[in-house]
Structure 1
Amino acid sequence: MSLQFFSQLSDNLGRLLEYADDFNVIVKVGNHPEFAVFQAHSVILRARSEYFRAALSSNWARKEGECFVFEKPNISPAVFDVVLSGAIYLDHQDGDDVLELLIAADELILDELIEPLQEHLIRNMEKWFKENLLRILDTVIQRDACLKLREHCLNILCPDPYRYFDSEDFINLEESTVIMLVSRDDLKMDEAQLWEYLIRWGVANTPNLKNDLSAWSRRDFWELKVTLHKCIPLIRLWQLSVGDYNEKVKPYEKILTKDLKLKLSRHFTKTPVPSLPEPATLTPPPSPPNFIFSERAIDSIIITHLQAALVSRWIDRKFVSDAKELDMEKARLSRIKADCTEDAIQLHEGLGPSFGFYEFKILDEAKECKSSYGTGGLRYQNKIREKCNYFGVDDYEVFQVVKKEQEKL
């Protein structure tokens, strides 16, 4: 039989914080008006925190007389008291308190607190979480220990970014958070709108800019350019339509680098590619499936994400994909490598089409369920198939875009 008195032990350790007369550590936490001085024992701090274990055994720990002195202005007295005593009553804490406690636990390397605090915020504070999502993301973005919280934020934000980008919290984001967001392929927002939000954030974070753009001086544009110089290269401006470029980017051309302006000028002055026909000219399927396309995930020199989504609706379920569910981001889209163009698609007698020199081929056209074979292959930039095996194909459709030769007079 064994008896354990952990509750009593915790109370005893808590009293040591209040009535310590043989302390050898002073910890100054918070800022005025929330400021407090804690007197503690190094042996308890070493046992409680990896941070203090390292700090108290290093040369950079400052001493006043016989006591080690630490200053933690970014941790409030209430949070530090909870961290040291180990008595945490989450039901009595609001979301901001729990988040502050999580950040303190991360800084003091209290690993046993980090996981349950993240779980509590995700599972039990859903309403508060969504209302403060951008602020939470901004707080944890560079804290690897808070990865679960960060990923949960992104899983909510990326499919529906507009409600969060329209909030006042957006313009208060740190630069590192903005950079991370605009660089994500799964952000469901096209480049023209993303550019507008980026300009809004940049203007809000550049002091003394006037509301009237026509009144801006060269110095004003230069200041905005400095604010956004790390973000602009992440916006895929070449994906914009000519109209969007002229309307939304050209007024701010002075914040672009000379090289980028030259490349964009050449790109947008080329002969435009004819638009795809309007869907009304074709007969769409009666109830088109809800295709999921990330506007930023389409890496094509031929079509935009909107045109890709339109084509996917026309062809309904006839898209080559390994996914059983209709998620078009899981489809195998790829360009042929530059030195393998002859192997892009081939036809052989008695067989169906093959791609990438037999990397993906239809073996028998006669059978109702056509036999197919796929290998890893090297001709396409992305593998068409991950496995080397036989499989069935219910149906397929192949089309090719051919450049029309100009008639010579």
Structure 2
Amino acid sequence: MSDSKTPLNSKNYVKWFRNSAPYINAHRGKTFVLMFGGEAVAHDNFANIIHDIALLNSLGVKLVLVHGARPQIEERVALRGINSQFEHDLRITCQQTLESVKDAAGSLRSQIEALLTMGLANSPMHGSQIRVCSGNMVIAKPIGVRGGIDYQHTGVVRRIDSLAIQSHLQDNAIVLLSPIGYSPTGEVFNLSLENVATQTAIALQADKLIAFSDKPGLLNTEGEVINNTDISTVKQLLDNSSDLQEQVLMRALINSAEKGVERCHCISYQEDGALLAELFTRDGSGTLIAQDTYDQMRTACIDDVGGILELIEPLEANGTLVKRSRELLENEIDHFTVLEKDGMIIACAALYPYPQEKLGEIACVATHPDYRGGERGLRLLNTLQQQAAALGLQQLFVLTTVTAHWFQEQGFIEGSLSQLPAKRQSLYNYQRNSKIFAKAITG
């Protein structure tokens, strides 16, 4: 047996594969738009990205690939002896430059299609039988004259033929779009990668836009990857960025998120497996940008007691939650985290730590009926897990009578009364007969 197949490695692989199952199920049938520039296509790791794209397709993910071609266009422009002209990071496309654009885009499209068609034995693509569809699915119009500058054959997306794309996706084909658009009058326009990717994601109401970058993700001022963030933070990063490529990418992420794409990701095209790690592991590999919900998550204060009571009283009435008096809630308010929207408490949850046993109890997870379905409960649970980890706790537990299935979906495993701290065991209500679930804290 070779070293790569030792029992330890096999166990690690099985554990990883099992842990990825919830993500496989969650992504099946969803629509992802992948955006990558010509730099990514030219990188040595692009072949690995293609293999991972093939795997996503085999797992039932609907994929639209949007590629750029700037460095390849630059090569062809230079060979033709044409001086590149840019305004506001947009290429001014004369007729000669347009020929270079069509040449570069067509060549890259053929290269990507060939890679996706490859099915050699002993390769990750063996048996994949992927169909790739491309064509005139991007309708464009000229930018025209702006600020006295005639952009000539540079255009913007006028419309995405979403019906045609959806038809191909329903047939389990991968759709490949180039940074070129066509007008109803038969003209060809040079488009920006981010314009095509963003408008495609919006038109398809895609579940994700995944943008490939030369960096491992969006970085903070210390150069560290930001794992999770929101649109407002990305806007702050954009304001402080001097990197033109980074600015373009962030504008695409912001625009997509603001127009309804719930999850946007920024990952590295240089890191092997970054795409799979981002989609199928809890920690991911890059940056996840969640759509702004205008919800403010914060530690609860005494002024929130009334709002929390109003939120949990219906759940107390039907037996889902244990009844809490105002006095008890006031005394325990520091344990609560809330989501507030326009001054209204729309969700809450509490963490009760038992430091000596390194355990923490999750309690009183509640979301207003009008705001369910937006993963607010999961956001609160993840926040409380981070709080527990910061306190040095090693395991969370919850007592529930109604929502056992939801906690199981979040990785909790049914346990027994003996697993609880002695103090909590003494308070167990046998009449309610709550089920006990526990989860180890990771990360």
Normalization by structure 1: what TM-score?
Answer: 0.30
Normalization by structure 2: what TM-score?
Answer: 0.29
Which has the bigger relative contact order, CA under 8 A and spacing at least 6?
2
Greater percentage in strand = 2
Whichever of the two has the greater Rg, that structure is 1
Greater percentage in helix = 1
